[in-house]
Structure 1
Amino acid sequence: MTNGFDWSRVFHAYGTATDTGQVLAGPLADAREHLWSAILHQGTVWPATPEVLRIVGGRLREAPALGLAFVRDVASSVNAGDEAATLRAQVAAAPTAEWTAAYVAADEDDQVDLWDDDTGNLVLLGAALDCWDLLPELLDPVAEFLEDPDPQVRTHAWAAAARLLNHPGTASRRPELLTRLARLAAAAESVEERASLVMDLGGLGGDPAPFLADESPLVRCAAAMSPPLAEHPAAQQELLRMAATPTDFDALKGLPRFEGEPPRWTLIAVLSRRPVAPSALYEPALAALPHAFRLAPCPDLGPYLEILFPTGWPEQATAEQRGLARELAARDDLWAPTNGNRRITLRGLGLPEDRETWRALS
């Protein structure tokens, strides 16, 4: 037991959570691997997660950046929004307690068999709702770090607070924290911190428009990506400028919000949802070619292909379609026979998978 909690009655991604109590009995800084593998596994929370979230929230001072990142990631995974009551009724109607008791008492083979019953998924849903219910009480512990002397800790704190403020139970705190956030963003000396705070400001419904005039193109782009500026013409121009050299935006890769992925993927995804003419995406699509087909579906080129070829392969190609086809076909590095990412991406978009067809269009 840890703090009187019986870990043998709950489970995580790898089985009964008796090892979780042992991990949390030690320094929080040593728990990183366990937290992001067993307790929060690829974005899924488990019956052990709510109690771990409660404990981590009470121990933030031990390892602030780690603890705040964990709170942020759990909060990002359990956003129930307006559906919480409906989902709670589904869980309440199922024998989740009995299923959990059977699961933790079973051997590994029997545990696998238990997942044939849909009750297991409702157990996980119940764990997510328990985490959701905890979020409002975590705001005060997180808020203690919003003006921490360490910029990395401040960035993690605001990223966590932004997720917590999406909960209806924290709505009354939003105006005050938005005022603080705007002030801190304007005063931040580091480009990385300023960009992160500006994205948090926009994500919470604040006004990032003043930062479209920032001296840093990274901060201007961060402001332009914010939902409040989705219809702002100057914001679209900032996104297009950055998308012409997308790896420049990867300078922000250390920010926790990108979770280790290249920030340009977020930039491209946002730009592809904005009201810009398809022809305006031609240059960004060319800039994405050196990074194309490294994953499937391709986050660098795929969104542009979907817009520039909206109905699949054209009978009468536009100038942009012909130009992109020519440049795509010309790159030997994109046509290796073993590149399954290319085939999966193109097939998913209803586009031809062979080089000669692309070459013929140009």
Structure 2
Amino acid sequence: MSAPQKGDLTDTEKELLQVIAAGNVQEASRLLGSKDVRVNCLDEYGMTPLMHAAYKGRADMCKLLLQHGADVNCNEHEHGYTALMFAGLSGKTDITWMMLDAGAETDAVNSVGRTAAQMAAFVGQHDCVTVINNFFSRARLDYYTKPQGLEKEPKLPPKLAGPLHKIIMSTNPNPVKIVMLVKENPLLMDVEALEKCRKVLELICEKCIKQQDMNEVLAMKMHYLSCVLQKCGSFLKEQQDKLDGLIKSLLKGRDSDGFPVFQEKFIRECIRKFPYCDATLLQQLVRSIAPVEIGSDPTALSVLTQAITGQVGFMDADFCTTCGEKGAKKRCSICKMVIYCDQACQKLHWFSHKKVCKMLQEQREKHEAESASRLQKQAKEEGPGEKTLSNILNLDCNT
């Protein structure tokens, strides 16, 4: 069949777009087998079936279209939108990841000069922004699992590629979470394995800086992860306690307010050790963190998280006090001031939190009492004879 032209659709292709809108995967699969259907056909706006499926947030449909050879980087849209941009606008992180895994270009811009990440941020889809900014394909890591040049063995044993890729793809840079990811995989609970992973991360960091389209954000992330893995390795070598001691050190809060001083100092040290001193990102991080007294805001973790994930603005989600995972819902039943993923995270943090729990409870109760007192005072000042806004509105409506 001829190359697709905008609006030049066969009847079957028109039917395919309708089926995609309805979400009927089985019928779409049947139509894609038809001879007069081009998987990259274009509607009058230059949208492909994949763009339609991504915008509608239909993951199964996107998967089917990609299996049939859909072009993830088609740029025929009248405003230069790509399938990745539509995925980001939909707010579906699984579809965003799917487009990236299929080879979507992250630096393509639309007619107003915005990338997919910038478009997603513009409409408040910050989770999609994080996925785009943190994507690292498995194929790029698998390169290190094969001997290169005169090497007799690869830099990274193939069995470690999966566990390491999981750590790389994590969008949560909290060191406790990273140590947990190491701890949960027996293959990584080995000093030699951790050292090999650390070296590969540093090689990727170097490559990110020295490549033509330098990626300082990814370089910083790889360096930071290598520092955490190095700490895990040295801890395993000295302590032999399955990293429980390291997690406790990272969580231990000072007596006055429970602030994790060791964690703060560790993250600051990781950033300071970034080997490329001229990097703009490093200088920005240092300027943001250096003047801040330990225990004050912004913390090193919050500054680093914003740099790595690209998330800006107000976040309405709650983060686990222990591991930093988003969407935590379990509050401490006593003070109700700290929040956790689950009972396991709460139990891990209790040794430190119990020192300040009563103090936090008293602070909360004092604040609630002051708020109640203010409301009572306000009600008395208004008096019973004073018109409320609702009374005024009702009066206006009735006249």
TM above 0.5, yes or no, is no
- TM-score, normalising length: structure 1: 0.32
**Max Rg structure:** 2
| Bigger fraction of residues in helix | 1
